Chain A
Amino acid sequence: EVQLLESGGGLVQPGGSLRLSCAASGFTFSIYGIYWVRQAPGEGLEWVSAIGGPTPNTHYADSVKGRFTISRDNSKNTVSLQMNSLRADDTAVYYCAKRGPEYYLESWGQGTRVTVSS
């Protein structure tokens, strides 16, 4: 069974940093891309970032480009999202998700909440 477990969320002041982690199990981690998607309170879904599997190419939404960095450690089956220069509009639940055979989001974690506030 595919399991994805996010951690690292919390309260941070504007301009601060936070590092989210996604721990994966139940599949051959190294060959699958992993995505981050966020959902602001009462709002819809917004794709944030992605990292490939065999070739760890990275992609970012314009809203986070230059501030967020995605990385993976295939030896630990984890993906991280380093978030710098955080703003109030980064406040959201952050989900990690496993890519399917194509670029849809096949399995999702339960999310970790990030609140950016002074």
Chain B
Amino acid sequence: EIVMTQSPATLSVSPGERATLSCRASQSVNSRLAWYQQKPGQAPRLLIYGASTRATNIPARFSGSGSGTEFTLTISSLQSEDFALYYCQHYNGWPLTFGGGTRVEIK
């Protein structure tokens, strides 16, 4: 099983600042990496797939990078609606696994 590790667990950022979230895989997942956003009481929403491709209707301030075992989600200028939980997930074989999540909170 591929273990996905996200860091930091919590990120405190001021509105308008940049947020950088990390995700590490225990072995290569190539570019088969997705990012999801989850707000309280809501289902997760796909942000990024293929490590760097934004999903439909996702704002350009969200960007993903990386391949192999190291990945980054960057939110270039945090808006109030971006304060949420973020999960990475690999899909390079079974079982699919998620990282533990990064909470982005208002500083």
Contact = CB atoms under 8 A, between A and B. Distances in A.
Interface of A: 35, 37, 44-47, 50, 59, 61-62, 95, 100, 102-111
B32 to A, nearest CB: 7
Contacts, number: 60
Given A61-B95, A104-B49, A44 B100 contact: yes
Given A44-B101, A45-B87, A105-B36, A110 B43 contact: yes
Contacts of A107: 46
Interface in B27-74: 32, 34, 36, 38, 42-46, 49-50, 55
Q: How large is the interface on B (under 10, 10 to 19, 20 to 34, 35 or more residues)?
A: 20 to 34
A59 B94 contact: yes
Nearest to A96: B43
A108 B37 CA distance: 12
Contact of B89 (A95, A104, A109): A104
20 contacts: A35-B96, A44-B87, A44-B99, A44-B100, A47-B89, A47-B98, A61-B95, A95-B43, A100-B46, A102-B32, A102-B49, A103-B91, A103-B96, A104-B32, A105-B34, A105-B36, A106-B46, A107-B46, A108-B45, A109-B43
